A and B are shown apart, each in its own frame.
Chain A
């Protein structure tokens, strides 16, 4: 059994010490006009390289770019789209993080590649494979206010899927081994699963040789489990922290799809223990095909930087202990 340690998405861009606050200082300087956008981008590059290095040092086998450049999961993409404006702040699910709401006023189209340059940069500085992360079309549509261009959120979801398929195609062609599509809104609206499946199918058609990961979080995936197994993706990334029944469901029903086990609580600072993790691994691993990914339940920027690193290092100790090599955690 191979267990790869894989990050989910975001990573804290600053830490508590002054040397870890470079991004915050540069952001403020850029907002004040004291440095240029190009100078701020250079700092974003440096911090991206730093958080990738930190993930690798902590022992992750698959890293992300930490989404250091993302204002939030929606406006980061929407700001590149014609037909969309960015509005006021709204809370991102049940987190302490706020996003700017996209307002769709007309037919949406892409002004150019959005994530490929970020992926290219991340890969150039990473000692480990980088998994690019794309916000899913359904969650994007759910977060958007529809003021024109489409008759319904269903139409908007499929329109976002068309645009995001271009992103997936470019990332796959550039050599991404995995591409993660985040659809947290699906768990809030299970009634729309067919729509989500159709939109994801459009992305799957563009994935080339990449393995597509469908990720959900901030909700209980157990009631949707059978449905999720029918999605045209290669792996499911599920948040176990909201879902006490999920291990049993997987143990009973097995999985057709590969799995990213979101067992590290990305929302609480308490470190995971072997008493928590090992019984779950015992239950689910015999029922999962191929290489299993193990990692956080959601993006990690809900945690302070030092706890993030501590959690990942702890995860490596737990994984190694579970597989019977290296020291006990």
Chain B
């Protein structure tokens, strides 16, 4: 683990630190409130009151489970890309497009020059951090993914659209760092879609992070990482958070060939399965990771955001994860 950097940032975390990828399910009252807000039946203040109520529940849940690095739970966000697109200048929310199964999202459209409208997530980060002594992650959606998951009606190329987004998202990252966020996660699930574009995705990530004092994590999931490995190790971040349990942990095999040089957040919970893993099962997944990388390089978290699970499934899965980590720590530390 990049201990020196974490310590210099004032973070003292145990071996195999635990965290989550960002989103938690919205309780039914909030789902209902969002629908009523969309129909102009409740005020924004009323919606925000319920978002805070749900966020507080998730904050206490994370503390009760005893996770090491907390998140705000994204109770105020719909889709991770649409959330940014709704407020970025030059973008508008487009129609519904299917992602998989019965999951749909509003695919944004870049219709003009993109512009940061001012702090987006910073107030939520501040609100969350003010209520806990544990560190809270800042979370932004990455420029490559926003570009790839949007229709582009404005820029001549994908490259140009991506760099323009990076310059604007950097302003959000700067605002999070200024507010005091020590760990910042950049969500880039699209990272591996076009291996030939990794060079400009990396260029965009440089624009985003260069010269900023924070421990940076890139979260990527459900991609063909073998196609961009080991080149992806050139991404200018400290930690790569990869979905691994979902693909039967095959990804770890490639690390045996080319050593993984960053910290790895090992996704150990399948967020698309209703089944709650047992601590033993999660422990086995962690041990697979520990067999390939020194445990000092490993963080433990779910494969992806948990927003598609129920509240009960989410809490059950997180408890199993934390219990497994406790067992490994007790045996290995």
Contact = CB atoms under 8 A, between A and B. Distances in A.
Nearest 10 CB-CB pairs, A to B?
A: A304-B95, A98-B100, A88-B246, A94-B193, A27-B102, A269-B151, A270-B153, A94-B194, A16-B95, A89-B222
Contacts of B107: 96, 304
B94 to A, nearest CB: 6
Nearest to B304: A89
B98 A301 contact: yes
B100 A269 contact: no
Contacts of A101: 247
Main DSSP-derived SS at the B contact region: loop
Interface string A117-144: 0000000000000000000000000000
Contact of B270 (A88, A93, A301): A88
A91 B97 contact: no
Contact of A90 (B94, B95, B224): B224
A303 B95 CA distance: 8
A87 B153 CA distance: 36
B223 interface: yes
B95 A306 contact: yes
Given A14-B104, A270-B153, A97 B98 contact: yes
11 contacts: A12-B98, A14-B98, A14-B104, A71-B100, A88-B270, A94-B194, A96-B97, A269-B94, A270-B153, A304-B96, A306-B95
Interface of A: 12-16, 24, 27-28, 31, 71-72, 87-91, 93-101, 145, 268-270, 301-307
A91 B148 CA distance: 13
A65 to B, nearest CB: 16
B331 interface: no
Interface string B239-265: 000000011101000000000000000
Contacts of A15: 95-96
B102 A88 contact: no
Contacts of B248: 87-88, 145
Interface in B82-104: 94-102, 104
Nearest to A147: B248
Given A87-B247, A91-B192, A94-B194, A269 B223 contact: no
A306 B106 CA distance: 13
Contact of A304 (B94, B100, B153): B94
A93 B223 CA distance: 9
B100 A13 contact: no
Nearest to B195: A94
A72 B103 CA distance: 13
